[in-house]
Amino acid sequence: MYSIPELVALLGLSTENQVRNRIEAIREPLLGSLRRGPNNQILVTEDGLRLLRDLQGLCETGHTITEASHILRYRLDRNEQTMVQVVPSTSQNRAQPDETDAGWRALVEHLAAEVREIGARLAALEAATRREKEPGTWWERWR
C-alpha cells in the first residue's frame, strides 16, 4: 500500500496535488485499489500504482490528464471486453459493443476533427510566414 507522499516519489511528480488530480481523473477504475488508512489517509494498492503509472506515462507523451484518462479507460474497457468474449458467460454478462463503443467513437471523431483543424491552422500560419519572408519591391512594405 502506498500513501500520497510515496506516490509523489514513485511517479516522479513534484506535488501531492498532482497525485490527487491523477487519482481523481481515474477514480472509477481505481475504486478497488483505494483504501483509507490511519487519519483517513489515502492508500493505493499495487494495481492502483500500475494504473497511475500508465496514466503518468500517457501524460508524459503529451496528453492532458483528461485525454490520458479517456485513453486509459478505453484500454481498460477493451481489455474487459476481450476477457468477456474469451470467458464463456451467460447472455446477461456479454458486453454490448454498440453501447460501449458509441461514446468512444464520438470521442475519437471529436479528436480527429480537432487534429484536422489544428493542421489547417498550422498550414495557414506557415503560408503567412512564407509570404512575409518573400522579398518584394521596396514600396510594398509601406502598403
Q: What is the arrangement of strands in the sheet containing 42-44, beginning at the earlier edge strand? A: 2-3, 42-44, 34-36
Domain 1-93 has CATH 1.10.1660.10: yes
pLDDT at 78: 82
* In the chain, beta strands by DSSP E: 2-3, 34-36, 42-44
Each residue's pLDDT, cut to its tens digit, for the chain (143 residues) gives: 999 999 999 999 999 999 999 999 999 989 899 999 999 999 999 999 999 999 999 899 888 999 889 988 888 888 877 766 665 544 444 445 555 566 777 788 888 889 999 999 999 998 888 776 666 677 766 76
Instruction: Tell me the helix, strand and coil percentages in the chain, rounded to 5.
Output: 75, 5, 20
Task: Reduce the secondary structure of 69-105 to three states and give it as a string.
Answer: HHHHHHHHHHHHHHHHHHCCCCCCCCCCHHHHHHHHH
pLDDT at 91: 47
Domain ranges for the chain: 1-93, 96-133
pLDDT at 85: 63
pLDDT at 133: 66
Please state the separation of Cα 5 from the chain's center in Å: 23
pLDDT at 109: 83
CB neighbourhood size of 23 (10 A): 20
Name the nearest CA neighbour of 52 among 37, 35, 40, 34.
34
Grid coordinates given for 85: 468474449
pLDDT at 123: 92
